[in-house]
Amino acid sequence: MRKLFILLMLCFVCLMLSLLVYAELEDPSTAEDYYTRFMGQNISLNVYNWGEYISDGNYDLMNVNAEFEALTGIRVYYTTYATNEELYSKLRGGGASYDVIIPSDYMISRMIIEDMLEPLDLANIPNLSEVGDEFLNPSYDPDNRYSVPYMWGITGIIYNTTMIDEDEEITSWDILWDQRFMGQILMFSNQRDAFGIAQFRRGFSANTTDPDELKACLDDLKEQKLLVQAYVMDEIFDKMLGGEAALAPYYAGDAMIMMEENPDLDFAIPEEGVNFFVDAACIPKGSRRKQAAEMYINFLCEPEVSAANSEYIGYATPITKALELVDEEFAENPIVFPSEEILANTETFTSLPRETNLLLDGYWTQLLSSDENYSRLLVPVMLFSGIILVVGINVYRAMNKKKKQKYYF
């Protein structure tokens, strides 16, 4: 009886051990239940992405969020922002809790430096192997510890062919400073891209920290402001499609979408160089569903998903296998997938030191508001006298009231 018991115990221990070993060997990528392991647990994810930056089921393409929900049983709450800076201040301001965000390269490295991102568990994102080698270990995030590339692209000038001379060939950013197009130019409403253009035009590095160079760019942009119709981000779709403006710098992918809807539009890549950007998925600090978030990022890297996204938003996918899945015409589009030559003449934005960021912030506000000389004492004095005046008036009124009451009673 005792022997039998020991034997049973041994069997049991062996079984447990083998289970343990099996569990350790189990690779999430091959696990059948990788996508279904959170099924029925009522989990939700807050995804924060650029506007118009995911396939939502239109044009017979996949509805990515719905597919993900159906596959995993995880609810996706999807919201959007218009600029990297908006995302940054939303996260810095606190109060908001997001699980997946998709910032651009320079913002990712800024967030890494400021310790705002959660390191990824790459074992949980097996599809990282699908990402093309040239997009791995980027300068903004060596080793891909914090980010997985989502889309990439370049900037350029989108223009309305009916509004400029036929034989005019756009080869330079200078055209955005051309007097002939006064009031017909749209401009980026975010500082990094706007200053980037001025920097490329002057031949400075797009990541310059030299205050003199930045000041020169600010002066250029101020000069340009007289010609600019409006500073826009996503509003550009409305304005360019409606023929409101002749010229606008924008991202190639969006430009392609606009060109499909309005055949008068065309796209040019200035010779001075353009910005090459990568937008990548990250998990911000404070995410409560890290594993589910990693699952979502992994899902974005599925070739079918990435192909659908790429075709829908018009940006280039970094997933090698997805290139075979997209429409052939799309894959050969030189705007979306520019030639090596053009790519050689691009520069990526990197994170700037704190002082430069502050300087740029100040310059940007100055550009959009005004730059008249002012007295540093003006506002404190005004504020102070204002307070005194308000208090004084009310004290005076109260005294008056008392006097009157004397007469009444």
Partner 1 sequence: MKNKSSAFPYGVWMVIFIVLPLLLVGYFAFTTEDGAPTMENISKVGEFMPVLMRSVWYAVVATVVCLVIAYPLGYLISRGAGSRRRTLLMLVILPMWMNFLLRTYAWMTLLENNGLINRFLGFFNVGPFEMINTSGAVILGMVYNYMPFMILPLYAVMSKIDQTTLEAAQDLGSSFVSTFARVILPLSMPGVKTGIIMVFVPSVSTFIISRMLGGGGNLLIGDLIELQFLGNAYNPNLGAAISLVLLVIVLLCMSLLNQFGGEEEMEGALLDK
**Positions that interact with partner 1 (CB under 8 A):** 83, 85-86, 88-90, 92-93, 183, 189-191, 225, 228-232, 235, 238-239, 242-244, 361-362, 364-366, 368-370, 372, 374-380, 382-383, 386-387, 389-390, 393-394, 397, 401, 404
Taking the complex as a whole, the smallest distance from the CB of residue 360 to partner 1 amounts, in Å, to 8
For partner 1, the closer of residues 339 and 373 by Cβ is: 373
Give the C-alpha separation, 258 to 238, whole Å.
Answer: 9
For partner 1, the closer of residues 334 and 386 by Cβ is: 386
For partner 1, the closer of residues 88 and 150 by Cβ is: 88
Taking the complex as a whole, the smallest distance from the CB of residue 158 to partner 1 amounts, in Å, to 17
Give the C-alpha separation, 142 to 135, whole Å.
Answer: 11
CA neighbours within 13 Å on the CB side: how many for 334?
8
For partner 1, the closer of residues 67 and 86 by Cβ is: 86
For partner 1, the closer of residues 89 and 129 by Cβ is: 89
Contact 124, 28 (CB under 8 A): yes
Place of tokens 């223009």: 159
Taking the complex as a whole, the smallest distance from the CB of residue 212 to partner 1 amounts, in Å, to 21
Give the C-alpha separation, 150 to 104, whole Å.
Answer: 10
Taking the complex as a whole, the smallest distance from the CB of residue 375 to partner 1 amounts, in Å, to 7
For partner 1, the closer of residues 166 and 372 by Cβ is: 372
How many helices (H) and strands (E) are present in the chain, helices listed first? 15, 10
Judge residue 17's burial from the number of C-beta atoms within 10 Å of its C-beta, 0-12 exposed, 13-18 middle, 19 or more buried: exposed
Taking the complex as a whole, the smallest distance from the CB of residue 254 to partner 1 amounts, in Å, to 18
DSSP 107-139: HHHHHHHTT-BPPP-GGG-GGGGGB-GGGSS-T
> In the structure encoding, which two tokens stand for residue 318, read together?
């970094």
Taking the complex as a whole, the smallest distance from the CB of residue 225 to partner 1 amounts, in Å, to 6
The Cβ of residue 153 has, within 10 Å, a number of other Cβ atoms equal to 25
> In the structure encoding, which two tokens stand for residue 389, read together?
């005046």
